[in-house]
Structure 1
Amino acid sequence: MKAIIYNIFTCTLLLLACVLPTACSNWNEPEPVDVNINSPKDQNPELWASYMQVLNTYKQSEHYIAYTRFDNSPEKPVNEGSYLRSLPDSLDIVALCNPGNISDNDREDILLLREKSTRVIYLVDYAAQAATFTDAAALGTWRDKAVAAATELNLDGFAFTGVRLYSGTDAEMATRKEAAQLIVSKLSAATGGGKLLVFEGNPDFIESADLEKLNYIVLNTADLTNVSELNLMIAGLPDSNILPREKVLLSARIGDLIVDEKNEKQSTVPLMTDRVAAMGPLGGLAINNIGSDYYSAKMNYETTRTAIQQMNPSK
């Protein structure tokens, strides 16, 4: 009997030895798992509706504006921070940096942001592509495509960039001036019905007569390294009768440093947040680099929310 039991035990061990490597190999292979994730809206529709009402009331109230660019539709999303849905609810305006490539996720998220009263706009990055336009016709074709795409997506307006030429031939400078006028003319005509038109850059790119067509101007203060440069930039703005200060937004890049009046380096976002009220008051703050992380100890989400709360502490 003992011999029989021993043989059975031995055979069992041999069988397990043959099976386990295969089983372990199978365990190491990833398998798709269907997981039903209930959004906050699905978990408690009544509470969600109440929250949306409060959020909408805040967005419609008088407050300092929070603006950001966002690199939508990344080729390789690295985490939840790669999606529009993960942006802070209290952002007022989001400019899509990759509006010519809208994914299905983007389309869903744009609807969600609109429910949160966040304005989603199309970025026309003329400054990055100015050298590719040899004539007004080429610029017009590119501009018309942008308008058509924004219309198809039912976006809330446009942001555009531009850099004025201070040197070059008379013809080159005249071409850049004409381009600015053509862009403002076309985009402003497409922003009826409460849609937005935002310019990112130095306002000297825009003709004085066209400044009134803009809702906001995002100054390129994110590239400054010293507050003395900031003071000079604000002092050099057109008269407030021509460019009302509530249209002006400072910009800051998360993670950057700037030298303050005491010659000490400070985090740029908090410093620029303080200057929004102190230097105008101005219209608000544009926060750059918002999508570069999601899980770090000092999350960009937290930095953004803190800046918005500091600008609007009573909201």
Structure 2
Amino acid sequence: MNKRHFKKSIIPLLGLCATLSFSACTEWTDVDNKVVEYPAITEQNPELYAQYLTKLKEYKESEHKAMYVWFDNSIKDATHRSHHINNVPDSVDVVVLNSPDSLISRELEEMQELRDDKGTKIVYSISLESIKADHNALIEETEEAKDLAIEEATKKAEADLNAAKEAGNENAKLEDFLNLEEIEKDFIIPEFEDFLTEALQDQIKIANKYNYDGIIVGYVGKGTLHMFPDEKKKYTETENLFLGLINSWIERNPEKMVIFEGKPQNLINKDILQISKHIIISTHTASNSANITFEVGTAIAEGIPVDRFIVTAQVPSLDPNKEEAGKWANGTLAIPSTATWATGKFTYTIAGMGILDVNTDYFTQPSIYTLTREAINTLNPSLK
């Protein structure tokens, strides 16, 4: 199907089904909190809806700017539509689950529905920086626990020492009652390389366990230009270990999608970028368009494909204490502003954008997922 014919065929269906879907939720609540039942869209016109789903999946396979959304699925006892994965806008291409493990049957069913009916991909992130943060947290927790154990053991040893001396043992010493080496054996912290290997193996298993469509490989790293030789050697070994385990999984699962997120310019071995569907540049903290341009510009280096960049923005927070979240310095909302920026002309290709905290956008007025839908329409105006 050529692109012009495809647009003409899907636009009426998208428009009509969107109209139906807003009036076809199974439950709506009026001002008196009375639940009113409406027939689902599949009951109103199942034939039309089937055509719509077919065109929707064709659209996602066609050339367009992709939409990624990060979904908080930490709430398992869903009490609101914003908790349901399958309630994100139909035109979303990829859903990233923030809590990828310990999925319940409801989540698995909703994931399968999105995948089968709407052609939506479900992925999760494996981040080197997150694993480092977990290791640092383990070190801190272990050190605190060890200090507490030593403190308690020392108090007991001192009490035992005093008791021994009162019993007439004047030659007794504290070390007779306190064995620090024995205590420290209970608080051994694994080396980062061992911790990384175990954490990676556990996280990679999740992809096949829950039949994810792929993974996001998160890697920020740092510049190596001014590193001392020993520092660069250690840095290279860590990268090789991380990417080696990832690449081993990729080779065994060629059907799975791979996406890179972070700072590609800091990779020593950039081969993984060639097989990555997209390269996500985190711009959700940008305060203006110049910040986004800078972040993408600095990500361009030798060996980095420039035809697949994704930029990100954040939904404004519902917390009144976080009024700056999701906004640029001039007060404009980051999502529509980023989407507009992404439609510009560059020497590189902006292949789409990603939205963080998408669940919060469910509550954006005047409709559900207002900012996400607006961004999709801006990126792909043929859908309007």
Report the TM-score, using the length of structure 1 for normalisation. Answer: 0.77
Partner of 1:126: 128
Partner of 2:168: none
Distance in 1 (alpha carbons) for counterparts of 2:297 and 2:359? 32
Partner of 1:139: 196
Partner of 1:311: 379
Distance in 2 (alpha carbons) for counterparts of 1:190 and 1:300? 40
Partner of 1:281: 349
**Counterpart contact for 2:355–2:372, Cα < 8 Å:** yes
Partner of 1:156: 213
2:289 aligned with 1:227: yes
Distance in 1 (alpha carbons) for counterparts of 2:349 and 2:110? 32
Query: Cα gap change, 1:310/1:36 in structure 2, threshold over 3 Å: closer, same or farther?
Result: closer
**Counterpart contact for 1:160–1:198, Cα < 8 Å:** yes
- What's the secondary structure of 1:88's corresponding residue? coil
2:313 aligned with 1:252: yes
Q: What is the 5 A alignment of 1:154-233?
A: 154-165=211-222, 170=231, 172-193=234-255, 195-206=256-267, 207-233=269-295
Query: Cα gap change, 1:187/1:218 in structure 2, threshold over 3 Å: closer, same or farther?
Result: farther
Distance in 2 (alpha carbons) for counterparts of 1:275 and 1:130? 33
Q: Aligned letter for 1:228?
A: A
Query: Cα gap change, 1:214/1:62 in structure 2, threshold over 3 Å: closer, same or farther?
Result: same
Q: Which runs of 5+ in 2 are unaligned?
A: 1-35, 136-190, 317-325
Distance in 2 (alpha carbons) for counterparts of 1:140 and 1:42? 50
Displacement of 1:75: 4.8
- What's the secondary structure of 1:310's corresponding residue? helix
Deviates more, 1:292-301 or 1:74-83: 292-301
Displacement of 1:142: 2.5
**Counterpart contact for 1:81–1:294, Cα < 8 Å:** yes
Q: Aligned letter for 2:283?
A: T
**Counterpart contact for 1:72–1:82, Cα < 8 Å:** yes
Distance in 2 (alpha carbons) for counterparts of 1:237 and 1:163? 11
**Counterpart contact for 1:211–1:243, Cα < 8 Å:** yes
- What's the secondary structure of 1:258's corresponding residue? coil
2:363 aligned with 1:295: yes
Displacement of 1:70: 1.0
Q: What is the 5 A alignment of 1:1-40?
A: 39-40=40-41
Q: Aligned letter for 1:204?
A: Q
**Counterpart contact for 2:289–2:341, Cα < 8 Å:** no
2:336 to 257, 261, 270: 270
Displacement of 1:37: 8.3
1:116 to 115, 118, 121: 118
Q: Which runs of 5+ in 1 are unaligned?
A: 1-34
**Counterpart contact for 2:261–2:281, Cα < 8 Å:** yes
Query: Cα gap change, 1:293/1:59 in structure 2, threshold over 3 Å: closer, same or farther?
Result: closer
RMSD of Structure 2 on Structure 1 (CA): 2.7
Distance in 2 (alpha carbons) for counterparts of 1:296 and 1:275? 21
Partner of 2:151: none
- What's the secondary structure of 2:362's corresponding residue? coil
Report the TM-score, using the length of structure 2 for normalisation. Answer: 0.64
- What's the secondary structure of 2:381's corresponding residue? coil
Query: Cα gap change, 1:231/1:73 in structure 2, threshold over 3 Å: closer, same or farther?
Result: closer
Displacement of 1:214: 1.3
**Counterpart contact for 1:79–1:294, Cα < 8 Å:** no
Distance in 2 (alpha carbons) for counterparts of 1:43 and 1:137? 57
Query: Cα gap change, 1:101/1:305 in structure 2, threshold over 3 Å: closer, same or farther?
Result: same
Query: Cα gap change, 1:282/1:37 in structure 2, threshold over 3 Å: closer, same or farther?
Result: same
Distance in 2 (alpha carbons) for counterparts of 1:186 and 1:36? 51
